[in-house]
């Protein structure tokens, strides 16, 4: 069995799906690409049993074959070759692989493709489509807020919440929460599912930033994303997501509007002087000024800055974890942000002042108890 393909084309497709491969897998065959050759098409598949990616590309060849090809050595070989035609030959009895180019000949050992885990198929699934740019924005805006505590498994993924003509992306680690809504999406049936972090990182790196339509299909166990020649399947997190609406305060009477870039730069500087356990910064609001300060009592380090802002409400002093604020501001692009605050013991809510059309982002951060160093 032989086929011919361009090195650059093959490398591009392999790199699109290689992120799934876990090099420390308990099943050695999972460290391979599955090559499923069918006449003039090559299907490449990778899996870690929870997440599967596959892509198809045209080739010159005849016949059918299925073989598992070692991923690391193949990728390193292709990266070192210029763009040129490359011929793959397979021995269907021994699974030996031979690669021929104008530069030379390379031999490596493959495995029986029939031993590769079965690729999940769509069955009894609900389906809808949405623009790639909207999906990418939703994933990118929320992914940083996903938790890492495996004891709170539901928080280690992003909740996709399907409502009539609207889709919500929700992520939280119990310290911060992000709710990103996309409106005017044709949702045939309401529902929700939680997608794990790894699958979303792979999706984020694969999605085009244009209006390419992405087909999303989901059932009780898996979700399927399909766009262009890429297909991603992952097992859903079967846990109950926290009731996030219960923690979003609705009566925030204090309103702060400030330059995102100025606040972000100030926090990065001030946090250098904060306690390296709590990263606590103090925000003091009075009139049209925001006073930001931090202190590390163990090393007698202290810093403070004053920024101009627009503020309506009573004088307020509240503490936050600087790292969380920096993460939130870094994942927004608007020129200004609006904070809604109530009391020092209640969460703060942040919105970008400029939103994408038909999209809305809300970020929530829990306060920290202030040290009385002033």
pLDDT, one tens digit per residue, over 184-208 is 998 988 999 999 999 999 999 999 9
The pLDDT-based confidence of 154 (bands split at 50, 70, 90) is very high
Q: Which residue has the higher pLDDT, 115 or 251?
A: 115
Res. 59: pLDDT tops 50: yes
DSSP 236: P
Instruction: Report the distance separating Cα 41 and Cα 261, nearest Å.
Output: 49
Cβ atoms of residues 45 and 115 within 8 Å: no
What's the Cα-to-Cα distance from 106 to each of 57, 68, 99, 182, rounded to whole Å?
22, 16, 5, 50
Arithmetic mean of pLDDT, 2-13:
96
Res. 311: pLDDT tops 70: yes
Alpha helix segments (H runs only) across 153-238: 197-206
- Return the structure tokens found at 310: 């627009």
Arithmetic mean of pLDDT, 71-94:
95
Q: Over the stretch 246-258, which tens digit does the pLDDT of each residue have?
A: 999 988 999 999 9
Q: Over the stretch 144-153, which tens digit does the pLDDT of each residue have?
A: 999 999 999 9
Res. 372: pLDDT tops 80: no
The answer to pTM > 0.75 is yes
How long, in residues, is the chain? 374
What the chain holds in terms of domains, given with CATH numbers, is: 2-115 (3.10.150.10), 126-245 (3.10.150.10), 248-365 (3.10.150.10)
* CA atoms within a 13 Å half-sphere pointing along the CA-CB vector of 179: 18
pLDDT of residue 374: 47
Q: Could you tell me which of 108, 48, 51 has the C-alpha nearest to residue 75?
A: 108
Average pLDDT over all residues of the chain: 94
Arithmetic mean of pLDDT, 285-305:
94
pLDDT of residue 143: 97
For 97-131, give the secondary structure using H, E and C: EEEECCCCEEEEECEEHHHCCCCCCCCCCEEEEEE
Share of residues in the chain with pLDDT > 90 (%) = 86
């Amino acid at each position: 069995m032989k086929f011919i393909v361009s090195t650059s084309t093959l490398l591009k497709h392999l790199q699109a799906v290689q992120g799934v491969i876990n090099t420390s897998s308990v099943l050695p065959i999972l460290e391979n690409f599955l090559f499923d050759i069918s006449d003039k098409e090559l299907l490449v598949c990778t899996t870690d049993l929870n997440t599967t990616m596959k892509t198809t590309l045209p080739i010159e060849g005849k016949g059918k074959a299925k073989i598992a090809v070692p991923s690391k050595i193949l990728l390193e070989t292709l990266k070192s070759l210029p763009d040129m035609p490359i011929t793959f030959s397979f021995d269907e009895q021994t699974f030996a692989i031979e690669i021929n180019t104008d530069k030379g000949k390379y031999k490596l050992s493959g495995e029986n493709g029939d031993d590769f885990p079965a690729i999940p198929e769509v069955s009894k699934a609900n389906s809808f489509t949405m623009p790639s740019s909207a999906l990418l924005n939703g994933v990118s805006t929320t992914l940083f807020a996903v938790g890492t505590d495996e004891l709170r498994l539901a928080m280690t993924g992003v909740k996709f919440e399907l409502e009539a003509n609207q889709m919500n992306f929700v992520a939280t680690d119990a310290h911060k929460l992000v709710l990103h809504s996309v409106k005017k999406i044709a949702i045939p049936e309401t529902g929700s599912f939680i997608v794990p972090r790894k699958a979303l990182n792979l999706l984020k790196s694969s999605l085009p930033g244009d209006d390419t339509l992405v087909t999303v299909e989901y059932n009780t166990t898996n979700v399927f994303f399909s766009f262009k020649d890429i297909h991603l399947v992952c097992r859903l997190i079967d846990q109950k997501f926290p009731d996030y609406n219960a923690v979003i305060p609705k009566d925030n009477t204090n309103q702060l509007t400030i330059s995102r870039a100025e606040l972000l730069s100030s926090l990065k500087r001030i946090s250098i002087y904060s306690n390296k356990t709590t990263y606590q910064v103090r925000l003091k609001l009075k009139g049209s000024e925001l006073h930001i300060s931090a202190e590390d009592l163990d090393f007698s380090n202290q810093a403070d800055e004053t920024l101009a802002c627009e503020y309506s409400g009573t004088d307020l002093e509240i503490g936050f974890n600087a790292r969380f604020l920096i993460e939130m501001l870094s994942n927004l692009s608007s020129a200004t942000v609006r904070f809604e605050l109530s009391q020092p013991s209640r969460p703060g809510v942040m919105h970008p002042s400029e939103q994408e059309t038909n999209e809305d982002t809300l970020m929530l951060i829990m306060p920290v108890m202030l040290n009385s160093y002033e």
